[in-house]
Amino acid sequence: QLDYEAKRLDPHFLEVMTAQIHRLTEYVDTALYLAKVAAQKIRPVKTRHKIAALVQEISTPYGLLAVGQQRKLSIDLATESEAELDAKIFGLILHNLFSNAISHGLGEIRLRSRVSNGAVTLIILNRIRGEAHGETGNGIGLQTIGTLAQAHNLTFRSRPVFNFYAAALRIPTLASTGALVTKIDA
């Protein structure tokens, strides 16, 4: 319909609507992919990855979004551990974690890591918006993360802690400990 009316529409409006349709298409594709993963029709295809490298790649646009909201995304990964991960599924998990923090939180968003017992736990923490803002969300992002983590054999937990919200993702590693500290300025 947009293509048919393109010559009669304002070019800026056409550009914005085309971008929105593209975003909606990506959302539907992701929802279908999630449904297939949940139904075990798609199994994770895991390859060896440095956890910090994947986090840095995925976090970059969220650092820009945070700056746009006059916020800060602070990432401190005290590990160079590697893990067997499906990059697409792991990416969807991180995208949902960062999107939740950007959409439903206030102030600085912090991602920290803890290494113990052959695993790295990524912890994302930020302040909860007050009830006055009226945005509580429906929890679909957290449900998505839980489903993807389960399909990937990762452990995911989240809960409010005082006036903060914490989400933790435990990833079994190939290296038992990390010696190098990576700090990402997002």
Asked if 177 and 81 count as a contact pair (C-beta separation under 8 A), the reply is yes
Residue 185: band (very low, low, confident or very high) from pLDDT cuts 50, 70, 90: low
> What was the pLDDT predicted at 176?
44
> What was the pLDDT predicted at 138?
58
> What was the pLDDT predicted at 186?
56
CA distance 95 to 88: 10
CA distance 155 to 173: 13
C-alpha distances in Å from residue 99, one per residue of 12, 49, 55, 137? 26, 23, 14, 12
* Lowest mean pLDDT, pick from 32-41, 84-93, 106-115: 32-41
CA distance 82 to 91: 15
> What was the pLDDT predicted at 182?
46
CA distance 143 to 139: 6
* Lowest mean pLDDT, pick from 9-23, 102-116, 167-181: 167-181
State mean pLDDT over 117-127.
92
> What was the pLDDT predicted at 178?
43
State mean pLDDT over 114-120.
90
Query: Chain-wide mean pLDDT for the chain?
Result: 84
pLDDT at 179 over 50: no
What is this structure's pTM?
Answer: 0.75
> What was the pLDDT predicted at 163?
87
pLDDT at 136 over 80: no
